[in-house]
Structure 1
Amino acid sequence: MVDDYTRQFREAWGRVEQADLAGIPMPDHVLILGTGGGSATAATLLRTYLYDRSEVPIEICQAYQPPAYLRRTTLVVAVSYSGNTQETLQAYEQAAASGVSAVVITAGGELAARARSYGHPVIHVPGGTPPRMAIGYLFMALLGVFHKLGLAGNTGVELAEQLGELYAVLAEGARRWGTAMPVTDNEAKQLALALRGHIPVVYGLNPNTGAVAERWKRQFGENAKVMAFANLLPDAHHDEAVGWEMERELFGRFFFILLTDDQAPRVLQQRVAATVEVLRERAGGVRVVQARGRGRLARLFSLVHLGDYVSLYLALLRGIDPTPVPMIEHFKAVLSRS
């Protein structure tokens, strides 16, 4: 799947271009409903991409109910790959009943049926993929909604150029980090080997790469079946960094990955360098990973793509099939009995 991200991203954009959103009024803010490694991750990546582009506030709701500020000038975008996510269904039902404008992104399920009953437009994405690996479908559908409604803060020409670079960077990533590339020249395989026996801690820059750090953490959990943690810089320097003083025999289990971007403000790059200097004295390992590309879309997803490969290789090193998620299914079974 990761080898074929370019096709997934292209296909998703083609689908959203055909969507009819003419009846959606201009909102004064947007609330995205969605949870998990596919929907919520796509939403946080979109918010990062539009951080200094969109003048409309974007909030993300992963709860069973929408926030109290919901009003008729709100645009709700409900995202659930399966269409059966409990939290999203309940929040959408409450939001739709209040009379807000809404758009639904899904591969089907109950969410699509409810959207049709309310007369809300549905952007259908192809099913049959683990939701976390449908990131291209979900992100591009979200981006397309914002672009069609004039909320993406860029022209069609500018966005087309960024998409072209994104596709090229994804194709290059598949070549650089795919299974055919040997360990000696494969950053993803090297990092997976370094992580073996450690607990990953992923730091992203706020706002440049923070959403990607969260993506890496989620992928380590679902694909490699290992606990992982994520935080933001400079935020972590104000509290979490004090925990770096814990017993060295414990702290040595942690392997820190810093997702950086040379287009980030100089003060953030200085903080990365200082973080590396301090952690190398104590942690089990430290690695700085640099974004690739010129435009923000390419840079964001170059890091997403690499992280997906790393988590899959780590799963293989642990002798684990990355696809099934038995603990999630077990938890759902326990929850259904309560």
Structure 2
Amino acid sequence: MDYAEEIISLSRQIEFEGSIDFDWDFRDVVVAGMGGSGIAGRIFSQLYSKRPVTLIDSYDIPDFVGPSTFFIAISYSGNTEETISSLQKAMERGARVAAVSSGGKLIEMVKDAVVIPSGLQPRSAVGYLTVPLLRGAGVLNDDIAAETRDELIKIDRDTSNLESEAAELFKGMKIPVILGTKDTEAVSYRWKTQFNENSKILAYSSNFPELNHNDTMALRFTYRKEEFQFFSITTRFTPQPVMRRIDITARICNLNLHRVVGEGMSYVSNIFTLIHKG
């Protein structure tokens, strides 16, 4: 399977039936993962709000991790050293543990780990890595999965607009600046890392409304602005006050915003279609 085929496999991945068991009385959720595997935790924390979620992208774990913590380790290879280290420490603290992986040491350490298909680049397995968390937590069901699949397939049928924007960016040798919102911050970060890893270029991401308290003057007055390409990332659920902030910021900062909007009726569909467009 070449990389293009890996990308369009997301519409199949979203219907993966593997699921983590969330049916116990936990206080908080900790999700450990790095790089292309770690994005699954960011997406999960964007979509799940019943309990506090902490993301781990290092060797260590917070002091609060203990028997009331649900600790979920995610590593596509199953051998990511930071994730293995943090999982081992969580187990020593008595945390309830779960894992998602295609193999490796992780599935040896965790009983009943969710095993996903192998043979992909980790960044291309975002559906397989994330769906078990979303299904287990009740965020994703068969109806939402089917809707999301259909919206992803629609995008794959006509990528001309996306190809045009990509051509403009790379022909002009521009640096991508991705401006998300609180309800798309996992996506804006994902876009940034996709440019970093796949396109081998630097990229910057920030999110409304917080960016208005830090970045507005820089967006307005920075030199060499013509060398940047600005994207806004929103969903059908982005609050109107935030949408107004985007419009006002674009106007006062003289930004030529490439506006990218999620597709579908569900929040899950909006998030995954935005990821796919990136």
TM-score, normalised with respect to structure 1: 0.76
Partner of 2:56: 61
Q: Deviations over 1:95-149 (max 9, x none)?
A: 111111100111111222222xxxx3210011111100100100112212323xx
Partner of 1:236: 211
Alignment map for 1:120-139 (pairs within 5 Å): 120-139=111-130
The answer to whether the Cα contact below 8 Å between 2:220 and 2:252 also exists between their aligned partners in 1 is no
Q: Deviations over 1:234-268 (max 9, x none)?
A: 111101222225453x2221111001223211101
Task: Give me the whole-angstrom Cα distance separating, in 1, the residues matched to 2:222 and 2:38.
Answer: 35
Q: Deviation at 1:227?
A: 0.5
Alignment map for 1:62-141 (pairs within 5 Å): 62-115=57-110, 120-141=111-132
What stretches of structure 2 of length at least 5 have no aligned partner? 1-5
Of 264, 267, 276 in structure 2, the residue corresponding to residue 293 of structure 1 is 264
TM-score, normalised with respect to structure 2: 0.92
Query: Secondary structure in 2 aligned to 1:203?
Result: strand
The answer to whether the Cα contact below 8 Å between 1:2 and 1:174 also exists between their aligned partners in 2 is no
Of 177, 201, 204 in structure 1, the residue corresponding to residue 180 of structure 2 is 204
The answer to whether the Cα contact below 8 Å between 2:67 and 2:96 also exists between their aligned partners in 1 is yes
Quick one: percent identity of the two aligned structures?
Answer: 27
Amino acid at match of 1:31: V
Alpha-carbon RMSD across the aligned residues, in angstroms, is 1.7
Partner of 1:15: 18
Partner of 1:142: 133
Q: Deviations over 1:146-190 (max 9, x none)?
A: 23xxxx4x8xxxx3321121111111111122xxxxxxxx12101
Equivalent residues, number = 271
Q: Deviation at 1:201?
A: 0.6
Partner of 2:39: 41
Task: Give me the whole-angstrom Cα distance separating, in 2, the residues matched to 1:255 and 1:217.
Answer: 12
Of 244, 247, 250 in structure 2, the residue corresponding to residue 270 of structure 1 is 244
Amino acid at match of 1:87: E
Amino acid at match of 1:56: R
Task: Give me the whole-angstrom Cα distance separating, in 1, the residues matched to 2:261 and 2:251.
Answer: 17
Amino acid at match of 2:56: C
The answer to whether the Cα contact below 8 Å between 1:6 and 1:167 also exists between their aligned partners in 2 is yes
Partner of 2:225: 251
The answer to whether the Cα contact below 8 Å between 1:262 and 1:269 also exists between their aligned partners in 2 is no
Partner of 2:3: none
Partner of 1:170: 152
Query: Secondary structure in 2 aligned to 1:274?
Result: helix
Q: Deviation at 1:286?
A: 2.5
The answer to whether the Cα contact below 8 Å between 1:29 and 1:74 also exists between their aligned partners in 2 is yes
1:302 aligns with 2:277: no
Of 214, 224, 230 in structure 1, the residue corresponding to residue 199 of structure 2 is 224
Task: Give me the whole-angstrom Cα distance separating, in 2, the residues matched to 1:245 and 1:4.
Answer: 40
Q: Deviations over 1:174-219 (max 9, x none)?
A: 1122xxxxxxxx121011012121000101111x111100010011
> Based on CA coordinates, which of the two structures has the bigger radius of gyration?
1
Task: Give me the whole-angstrom Cα distance separating, in 1, the residues matched to 2:161 and 2:40.
Answer: 24
What stretches of structure 1 of length at least 5 have no aligned partner? 178-185, 308-338
Alignment map for 1:153-192 (pairs within 5 Å): 159-177=141-159, 186-192=160-166
Query: Cα distance 1:247–1:67, how it changes in 2: closer, same or farther (>3 A)?
Result: closer
Amino acid at match of 1:221: N
The answer to whether the Cα contact below 8 Å between 1:199 and 1:228 also exists between their aligned partners in 2 is yes
Partner of 1:181: none
Amino acid at match of 1:165: E
The answer to whether the Cα contact below 8 Å between 1:102 and 1:121 also exists between their aligned partners in 2 is no
Amino acid at match of 2:34: T
